[in-house]
Amino acid sequence: MNTSLKFRDLPLNARRYILLHTIGSPLMVGDYVVVIYLLLTGYGLISVGALFTIVNIIEIFFPAIFGSLFDRKISARAAMSFIYGLEGLAYFLFYLVYGPGSWIILAAGVFVIKFATIFYPIFPAYEHYVYPENIREKALIYHLIIPEYVQIIAFPIFGFLLTYLFVGVQYYRYLLLFVSVGSFLMIPYIFYGIEDIRETKIKLEKEKFNFHVPKNFLKLFIIEDLLIIASSLLPVIAITYFVMFVLAQSFFVLMFLEAINSAVTIIGGNYLKDREIGKRSLLLGGVFLFSIVNIFYMLATWKFPLAFLTIAVLLQTIGNLLWFPVHRSMLFKTVPKEKRGAFFGSMSTMFRISSALAPFISALLISLWVYLPFAVAFFLYFLAGLGYYRITKNWA
């Protein structure tokens, strides 16, 4: 593998796909803003968590259905356009929410944004196609770091504006409208910049009854499921509530923490992309860092909150840099390219089943005792680490 692979050396379609995520990265601020806006306008943490959970349960079985269609009928451009179009509609509905009396509009917005996620399997399926196997881990590192060059600038600007210049709950509404418009504007780029892969998937129709689970796929799936359950216990709603309402920090501090995440991703990613490190060390090191992050979140409730939060973000980011490219590359190697959509769609369904109750459980746990979600997540990360330790015991 070429250890000095540059971004310009990636295939054109890979660079354009990464650019899609780069252009859209500032829109991710909407995940935080909608939670803050709802909490500031009278919605309780548990009621918001319950609403997200109910919608999760309703939509559990959609990804497997649509994942199979990706392989046969739905094009990559169409699926990605559906995602951004539905998210744009959802954030417009959130913009229309004004106080607890608008719960019907809120429920509609939550349903639409969750409905958009049923198309998410197109992303790993497209990455499986567009990142060549011989350079896949390097490409996935670029996939992580390039969008952060934009996000490291955009997020602090959002935080500064809404904390110091435009103070008031109505400005969070306006930012939701900005995210809505931005999401719709992503669609033209998808049609002009993203290669469609529909034609490469039609042939699955003739061999759809030969579906079987590849070797090692199930082990990696179970480990990833543990990691997803652990992270779903600390979703954006819980982290946002924890930082802004438990620790009484500002929106700027929340965005500053995201900027730290971006800086570490950029620095660490550029360091890792030019080096060859043992895959076992990367996986185990990443999961170990995921687990001890929870200790620093708990320490932040006791003393020096900003310092411990910063350490937690640093460790989480480094852990993801170590873990994500290796795990995703390992998983891709077990998935037949002609059935990528069906596999990732089915995976998405199983992950939804496992974590469907997480928003409500997380909100309930953090309301009962602020340490509980972190303690449970720590245990689940530990189990995932044991899984990696077993399946990689013969690796260098």
Nearest Cα neighbor of 112 from 128, 126, 94, 130 is 94
**How far, in Å, are 175, 248, 297, 362, 376 from residue 242 at the CA level?**
21, 8, 9, 11, 16
> How many residues are listed for the chain in this entry?
396
- 304, with CB counted inside 10 A (0-12, 13-18, 19+), is exposed
Q: Which long-range contacts (CB under 8 A, 24 or more apart) does 307-311 make?
A: 309/243, 309/247, 309/249, 309/253, 309/257, 310/257, 310/260
* Residues 389/392/395/396 CA torsion (nearest 10 deg): -30
**Can you give the pLDDT at residue 133?**
80
CA distance 37 to 48: 11
What single letter denotes the amino acid at residue 320?
Answer: N
What single letter denotes the amino acid at residue 11?
Answer: P
pLDDT in tens, 204-226: 333 343 445 555 666 777 777 77
CA distance 143 to 234: 24
Distance from the Cα of residue 283 to its chain's centroid: 18
Nearest Cα neighbor of 258 from 380, 150, 359, 338 is 150
The single-letter DSSP state of residue 370 is T
Determine the longest span between alpha carbons in the chain, in angstroms.
Answer: 62
Sign of CA dihedral 242, 259, 302, 297: positive
Among 40-44, 78-82, 389-393, name the most confident range: 78-82
Q: Average the pLDDT over 363-380 and give the result.
A: 77
Query: Is pLDDT larger for residue 372 or for residue 32?
Result: 32
Query: Is pLDDT larger for residue 380 or for residue 72?
Result: 380
The single-letter DSSP state of residue 147 is H
Q: Are 4 and 156 in contact (CB under 8 A)?
A: no
Q: Average the pLDDT over 44-61 and give the result.
A: 70
Least confident interval from 272-281, 321-330, 380-389: 272-281
pTM of the full predicted structure? 0.78
pLDDT in tens, 7-45: 888 889 999 999 999 999 999 999 899 888 888 887 777
Domains of the chain: 11-193+214-391 (1.20.1250.20)
Residue 309 CB neighbour total at 10 angstroms: 24
> 174: which 2 tokens?
């306006």
Residue tagged 């290669």 (tokens): 195
